[in-house]
Structure 1
Amino acid sequence: MARGGKGEHSKQSRHPDLLLRLDAELGRIDEQLRALADAKDRIQGLLDAVVAITRELELPAVLHRVVTTAMDLVGARYGALGVLDRSGECLAQFVAVGLSDGERAALADVDFPRGMGVLGHLIRHPEPLRTGDISSHPTSVGFPTGHPHLRTLLGVAISVRGEIYGDLYLSERRDGQPFDADDENIVVALASAAGIAIENVRLFEQVRAGSEQFQRLLLPTLPDMPPFDAAAIYRPAAEPNRLGGDWYDAVPLPDGAVAVVIGDVVGHDLNAAAAMASTRNMLRALLFDQCTPPSACLARLDRTLQTITDTPVTTTSLARIEPDGPAWRLHWSTAGHVPPLLITPGRRAKYLFAEPGPPLNVISGQHRPDHTHPLPLDATVVFFTDGLIEHPDHPIDESLDELAELATRHAALPLQDFVQALADHHPSDGHDDMAILALRSPPR
């Protein structure tokens, strides 16, 4: 009995030790699980940040996105990205994020950093820099008057094609702790993705600039057409490699009328651009051959395209501005194109809806009707392509209404500024190229 009771007591004395060890082990496992969860969240945050950066199509937006995502990943209050100049020895641009309105106002008279002190150290030595006390760093030169006092710093260089492009700076974790090795590792990973995104957007801009230049070389310079004022603008699609088939033209005719044309060849490639150029030149030749009325001119153009070319489907509107007493008359025919917009002197907008007829190169010999409408003094008629109004999330009627409201709001502007305003504030989503040609009759 006594021996058994002693053994039982020994077992009970070991239970607290086992429980303590078990609690400690469970605590360690719980801590490891939390660390794994935090690591998973950080990796997911990094992946989301990379996706967000690569979606940007403009360099300023990419640089700003790099800074803000880095701040989010490590919980920093302040962030900045300094872009090196061509010499690679100082900063030519500085994108700062996190400053309050008051802090920005205090620095209004202070030029952005050029790369002195600790920032310059990172330029000269592009390895990651992490310090818990900026003022104690050997290269520290202090802060300018009005600058918030920063204590901690994490700096990482961004390389593009093997060359240092700039440096990413982060300061002051929101939890008050200095930056740690995990912060450094994830920002280094982000900087690698940022270098690729920056290179991609620079290539994108080069391709877009080349495409736009090529497209503009195919479009005419509008001639003087007294007593009318005329202005036109072309905008390429937002995506690179998206050469379009939109075009415009205006031609003073021997009989005193003025011909105006707007058109859109289906497609977004070199074939569409080449077809646009040949179609425009064919139509101009027909106009100088005094082909009238507009429907007859379009019929001849359609027969020519179907007989001797492989031009894709094309929509177009051809109009003649003809004298009509003290004012003028708009005489037009349409091949599947959106209607022109007329803005009268009282700033009333009206779409000239009429039977459009089929596009070119679709149905041989199909009749397209002619239409006429008075063009009073001090009126503006706007011809445009569907890239100005098409938006996948908006009905076409809603976009047309928005364009009409936009046009009336800016109708008092000089004509070139007017078409610029339409192109800048268009209701479309920018997925397609767009062309606008506006003609204004003289004032009373």
Structure 2
Amino acid sequence: MAEQGSESFRHLRSKADEELEAIAERVRSLARAQERFHGLLDAFLTLNRELELPSLLRELLKTAQELVGARYGAMGVLDETGERLADFIPVGLSEEEEQALAGVPLPHGLGLLGHLIRHPEPLRVETIAAHPESVGFPSGHPPMRRLLGVSIRVRDQVYGNLYLTDRRDGLPFDEHDEAVLVALASAAAVAIDNARLFASVRASAELFQRLLLPRLPDLAPYEAEAVYRPAPAPGNRLGGDWYDAVPLPDGSCAVVIGDVVGHDLYAAAAMAQARNMLRALLYERRTPPSSVLEKLDRTLHAITDIPVTTAVLARVGPDDAGGGRLSWSAAGHPPPLLITPDGSARVLEGEPGLPLGVDLAHPRPDHEVAVAPGSTLVLYTDGLVERRGESLDEGLRALEAAAGPLARAPLAELCATLADFHPEAGQDDTAVLALRVPGDGPPTA
């Protein structure tokens, strides 16, 4: 009798242990589901914040790999025909595995990847090598057994495919893994569409900005070149940078560069207004640059609501020594840079004056220096010299050091090199305008 009771107790205890384990497994399953839910929510938020397409695709792939717990993952982006892959992004490969695949052509969309292109339903494969459409792996490719793949559709068109191989725990991919990947693909479709729209708007904004800037006229015997660089930082902002060069009736020429406060359509339109008004004033008033800026300030104030604008206006004319005479006035703008043919470069220090649109009664200073034959005057916007955590003086000294070796470079090369002189990959748009005085200087292209 005692033995029967003991056996019943063991049976009940075993049954209770099984029930407890089942409950524990359900709790673990719920915890995993909750973790995946929060992971998906974080992924949706992250993907919709990212507007740079390359970063977006890599973030999508890494998120899918982490949420499913896959050893490897990859994403293929279709070309314009929709039949082959134009881009292929892998994750999970070790440094040794990447080296083993160095020189191996990227997949073009055949085999199982091609199947996902032609049949955009989710695909779970237990044994890759046994699938009828598998074409195998190239030499040096790490072994992969299981595959889970989905297509990504953007506006009802297949954009690419996303697949994962081999869970780290060794288990097959299940319906929960598939649901996670399908959800990510749906979120990615919206994010990719947003990123492409953003890229299109940014390209249009940059084109509009460039169309507003002038083609420099023939200033012979002077030579002039200009370069504009939009800010590479994320954003579809229109810049307020502007420049111009104007031949004057007395044989001299005027060059100007400025920056309207703001980064929108309003700032771009204001920039065009200011530049056109200044052209008219330069022809009308054969006076020092300060007087021209003063008249421009009063005109803008009287007939427009243009925001605060910085500018530096310079006038260069011949002198009796065969070189030139430079006079300039600045309105809250970084000072001009003068490069002589011997390779010395110096910022032309002087009182900068107030920006346009601040105080009409405040006097505007003029400055004047002699310019040796073959010298180059460089005007630029503040995006060229602003450094995070450093003073403007430090940025100006760095610019002098970069400009000196370019004294005998063709003007187009000089402008392009300086425009690329972004201390921190450029957080602002940048314009550079260079004017070379005739004389014993370098030939230009």
TM-score band by shorter chain is 0.7 to 0.9
CA contact (8 A) 1:250 1:260 kept: yes
Q: CA deviation at 1:347?
A: 4.7
Give yes or no for the alignment of 1:315 onto 2:310: yes
Q: Structure 1 stretch 37-46 or stretch 307-316: which is displaced more? A: 37-46
| SS class of match (1:312) | coil
Q: Which amino acid counterpart does residue 296 of structure 2 have in structure 1?
A: L
Pairwise CA RMSD? 3.2
| SS class of match (1:166) | strand
Structure 2 counterpart of 1:141: 135
Q: Which amino acid counterpart does residue 203 of structure 1 have in structure 2?
A: L
Give yes or no for the alignment of 1:350 onto 2:340: no
Q: CA deviation at 1:259?
A: 1.1
Q: Which amino acid counterpart does residue 190 of structure 1 have in structure 2?
A: L
Structure 2 counterpart of 1:252: 247
CA contact (8 A) 2:342 2:407 kept: no
Q: CA deviation at 1:126?
A: 0.4
Q: Structure 1 stretch 27-36 or stretch 64-73: which is displaced more? A: 27-36
Give yes or no for the alignment of 1:331 onto 2:347: no
CA contact (8 A) 1:387 1:428 kept: no
Structure 1 counterpart of 2:369: 373
Q: 1:143 to 1:16 in 2, by over 3 A?
A: closer
State how far apart, in whole Å, the 2-side matches of 1:403 and 1:18 are. 84
Structure 2 counterpart of 1:217: 211
Q: How many residues align?
A: 438
Q: CA deviation at 1:139?
A: 1.2
Normalised to the residue count of structure 1, the TM-score between the two structures is 0.86
State how far apart, in whole Å, the 1-side matches of 2:217 and 2:70 are. 57
State how far apart, in whole Å, the 2-side matches of 1:424 and 1:50 are. 36
Q: CA deviation at 1:160?
A: 0.8
Q: Which amino acid counterpart does residue 363 of structure 1 have in structure 2?
A: D
State how far apart, in whole Å, the 1-side matches of 2:109 and 2:344 are. 56
State how far apart, in whole Å, the 2-side matches of 1:407 and 1:65 are. 40
Q: What pairs with 1:14-413 in structure 2 (closer than 5 Å)? A: 26-100=20-94, 103-104=97-98, 106-237=100-231, 238-324=233-319, 325-345=321-341, 347-390=343-386, 395-407=391-403
Q: 1:228 to 1:105 in 2, by over 3 A?
A: farther
| SS class of match (2:142) | coil
Question: Could you give the per-residue CA deviations for residues 54-89 of structure 1, whole angstroms, max 9, x where no partner exists?
Answer: 343332232233223322332333322222233323
Q: Structure 1 stretch 207-216 or stretch 90-99: which is displaced more? A: 90-99
Q: Structure 1 stretch 100-109 or stretch 369-378: which is displaced more? A: 100-109
CA contact (8 A) 1:264 1:314 kept: yes
- Mark the runs of 5 or more structure 1 residues left unpaired by the alignment: 1-5
State how far apart, in whole Å, the 2-side matches of 1:108 and 1:428 are. 32
Q: CA deviation at 1:389?
A: 4.1
| SS class of match (1:232) | strand
Q: 1:129 to 1:411 in 2, by over 3 A?
A: farther
Percent of matched pairs sharing the same residue: 58
Q: CA deviation at 1:103?
A: 4.5
| SS class of match (1:179) | coil
State how far apart, in whole Å, the 1-side matches of 2:128 and 2:114 are. 13
Q: Structure 1 stretch 234-243 or stretch 188-197: which is displaced more? A: 234-243
Q: 1:41 to 1:10 in 2, by over 3 A?
A: same
Q: Which amino acid counterpart does residue 296 of structure 1 have in structure 2?
A: S
Q: Structure 1 stretch 333-342 or stretch 91-100: which is displaced more? A: 91-100
Q: Structure 1 stretch 304-313 or stretch 432-441: which is displaced more? A: 432-441
Q: Structure 1 stretch 187-196 or stretch 57-66: which is displaced more? A: 57-66
State how far apart, in whole Å, the 2-side matches of 1:263 and 1:161 are. 43
Q: CA deviation at 1:267?
A: 2.5
Q: CA deviation at 1:181?
A: 2.5
Q: Structure 1 stretch 249-258 or stretch 296-305: which is displaced more? A: 249-258
Q: 1:229 to 1:85 in 2, by over 3 A?
A: same
Structure 1 counterpart of 2:434: 438
Q: Which amino acid counterpart does residue 195 of structure 2 have in structure 1?
A: V
State how far apart, in whole Å, the 2-side matches of 1:75 and 1:109 are. 29
Q: CA deviation at 1:337?
A: 1.3
Q: 1:116 to 1:37 in 2, by over 3 A?
A: same
Question: Could you give the per-residue CA deviations for residues 410-433 of structure 1, whole angstroms, max 9, x where no partner exists?
Answer: 666543333334434413575543
